[in-house]
């Protein structure tokens, strides 16, 4: 998975701001191959226990999907944070996953620095995916 550096920065910032609650949001881009995440949209976490799980507000999901369509990208997945856990899907994440063939990016805040992991939900399991953070070259920069 290719992840724009600006998106990585945005979702890590969201995770840090939301802690100790789980942050969540939408990922926009192209399914590929390779999958490319070009944009993200923060969404409210409406879970009854937001420090232990996340639930994306349905209205925010629909609005975000429309925003991506207007920008010419697809809703290809979701992100959320684990303030006290690893950057891999939890049993709760697997139990609540519904969107087959979508990507999940998880930000872990349990270490000294935030760590991210990427996963593809197959409908039965999460498959780990490598992340390549993409930076845009500066216009006119020849170095």
Active site residues: 22
Residue 100 phi, psi dihedral angles, 5° rounding: -65, 145
> CA-to-CA distance for 56 and 35, rounded, in angstroms?
22
| Residue 111 neighbours by CB under 8 Å, 6+ apart | none
> CA-to-CA distance for 56 and 120, rounded, in angstroms?
18
């Amino acid at each position: 998975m290719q992840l724009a550096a600006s998106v990585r920065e945005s979702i890590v910032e969201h995770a840090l701001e939301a802690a100790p609650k789980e942050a969540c949001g939408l990922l926009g881009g192209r399914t590929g191959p390779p999958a490319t995440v070009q944009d993200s949209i923060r969404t409210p976490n409406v879970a009854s226990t937001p420090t232990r799980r996340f639930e994306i507000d349905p209205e925010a999901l629909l609005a975000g999907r429309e925003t991506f369509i207007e920008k010419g990208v697809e809703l290809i997945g979701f992100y959320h944070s684990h303030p006290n856990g690893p950057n891999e899907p939890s049993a709760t994440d697997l139990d609540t996953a519904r969107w087959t063939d979508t990507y999940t990016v998880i930000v872990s805040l349990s270490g000294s620095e935030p760590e991210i992991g990427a996963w593809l939900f197959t409908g039965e399991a999460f498959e780990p995916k490598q992340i390549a953070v993409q930076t845009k070259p500066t216009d006119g920069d020849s170095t």
